[in-house]
Structure 1
Amino acid sequence: MDAIYRTQRHIYDLTRKYYLLGRDRLIADLAPPPGGTVLEPGCGTARNLIVAARRYPHARFFGFDISEAMLEAARESVRKAGLQQRIFLTRGDATAFSAQHLFGLSGFDRVFCSYTLSMIPGWERAIAASAASLAPGGRVHFVDFGRQDDLPRWFARGLYAWLDRFQVTPRQDLELVARNVAAAAGLRVDHRPLYRGYAQYSVIGG
């Protein structure tokens, strides 16, 4: 991952702005409780954490990434935003992490993954680990590329071919995996397509 992002990190947010649809909708839905904690596994450049921290000044934010190159960019972005006292970053693996080990917390009120599942080998474990890190009453939100069901086939073929060049694989069975993880934990799922199926959005919670 460091080899991929050592250069890309400098243009990552600019190039993703126009096609990672649904990120800001997810952030608007988080609504953490006063004094709440919010985690983003696979936080990348910390773009989402900064947007969320500004929107919810009463909450604390945590993020980790497996790429040290991305974390370098994230730390610099957080510093420039003046949010070092509210956004805490470390290195970690989204498929196997412990809230206690990484940040000394028993769980998080909100966890979110924005267009990371399509880049993570073993992404099913990332969903399970995120759900397992919830505090009582918490929710985990996922947004990622969808099935493109209501869009022209040529568009879907072109999009998938382009994404494949960057080792990005849309997760066709995200809803099924989310429901299985939720059922095992005694939680509920709200899953819906966005933008005619361009994206898909799942929320797991109590």
Structure 2
Amino acid sequence: MSANTNVQKIVPFEGSKLSKKEQIASMFDDIAYRYDFLNHFMSLGIDVIWRRKALKYLKSLQPKKMLDVATGTGDFAVMAEKKLQPERIIGIDISEGMLSHGREKIKKLGLEHKITLQLGDSETISFADETFDAITVAFGVRNFENLEKGLAEMRRVLKPGGKLVILEFSNPTVFPIKQLYNSYFRLIVPLIGKFVAKSKAAYSYLPESVKAFPQGEEMRTILLNTGFPAVTCKTLTFGICSIYCATR
């Protein structure tokens, strides 16, 4: 059985005839206007620290051209521009609603000449082989309809010696963090989503998708099997988040 099977079954809208990919795009279109606020609010701002730690894995590489997959509103791309100062960052996402908000943000920051956001699918990346020095994905891989296909596509467009850095939620295993985390994710987060973003479905999907997603050694093995010869995994904040760094 593919490692992708379980996570593919988890969708935002049960009973919908749309594919997971179509549901994800629709869900993010709906919550785009509150996405950045909720990300920082629900993580108490810790997500910003996680992103900084993830980008440190690319500092020695000094990438010139970067791809940010599932870029959303471009938060990670903006931070990468500030911390790594590459010549060019291209962000792709399947939600035009998220991209629209991201372009407004980038314009206000005066970064249009450095960062470009465009509609794009992780499973059919529209760039030639070996185009990018580095690829980042923050809280996006668990939303891929086909995980292995998305990872293989990212490897294809990555230059030899280039790095893929994935930042993703994971499930803590230590008492009492595990119990507190599960209660917060399952009871509080959907309510916040319902009242702030007007979408309980989106924030009910979040804990379910995290639970189903392969983590730790399992995810590391998937990356190795995809063709990355060197893969590391680092857990953060009692295992709530993980950084996977894969070198082509």
Q: Which has the higher helix share?
A: 2
- Aligned residue for 2:73, secondary structure, equals coil
Root-mean-square deviation over aligned CA pairs: 2.4
Distance verdict in 2 for CA 1:128–1:151, change over 3 Å = farther
Measure the CA separation in 1 of the matches of 2:27 and 2:226. Answer: 35
The equivalent of 2:80 in structure 1 is: 52
Q: Does the aligned pair in 2 maintain the 1:127–1:181 contact within 8 Å?
A: yes
- Aligned residue for 2:238, secondary structure, equals coil
Counterpart amino acid of 2:221? R
Counterpart amino acid of 1:200? S
Identity %: 20
Measure the CA separation in 2 of the matches of 1:9 and 1:70. Answer: 5
Greater relative CO, 1 or 2 (CA 8 Å, sep 6+):
2
Measure the CA separation in 2 of the matches of 1:151 and 1:117. Answer: 27
Gaps of 5+ in 2: 1-23, 191-199
Measure the CA separation in 2 of the matches of 1:34 and 1:173. Answer: 28
Check if 1:182 corresponds to 2:206: no
If you compute each CA radius of gyration, which structure gives the higher value, 1 or 2?
Answer: 2
TM-score (norm: length of structure 1): 0.85
The equivalent position to 2:151 in structure 1, one of 108, 122, 127, is 127
TM-score (norm: length of structure 2): 0.72
Distance verdict in 2 for CA 1:174–1:94, change over 3 Å = farther
Distance verdict in 2 for CA 1:108–1:58, change over 3 Å = closer
Q: Which has the higher strand share?
A: 1
Name the stretch that deviates more: 123-132 or 43-52: 123-132
Equivalent residue runs for 1:83-102 within 5 Å:
83-100=111-128
Counterpart amino acid of 1:12? Y
Equivalent residue runs for 1:184-203 within 5 Å:
184-203=226-245
Counterpart amino acid of 1:150? V
Q: Does the aligned pair in 2 maintain the 1:26–1:141 contact within 8 Å?
A: yes
Q: Does the aligned pair in 2 maintain the 1:32–1:109 contact within 8 Å?
A: no
Name the stretch that deviates more: 107-116 or 143-152: 143-152
Distance verdict in 2 for CA 1:193–1:3, change over 3 Å = same
The equivalent of 1:11 in structure 2 is: 34
Q: Does the aligned pair in 1 maintain the 2:138–2:167 contact within 8 Å?
A: yes
The equivalent of 2:8 in structure 1 is: none
The equivalent of 1:158 in structure 2 is: 183
Gaps of 5+ in 1: none
The equivalent position to 1:82 in structure 2, one of 110, 120, 129, is 110
Check if 1:148 corresponds to 2:190: no
How many residue pairs get aligned? The number is 202
The equivalent of 2:89 in structure 1 is: 61
- Aligned residue for 1:11, secondary structure, equals helix
Measure the CA separation in 1 of the matches of 2:126 and 2:115. Answer: 18
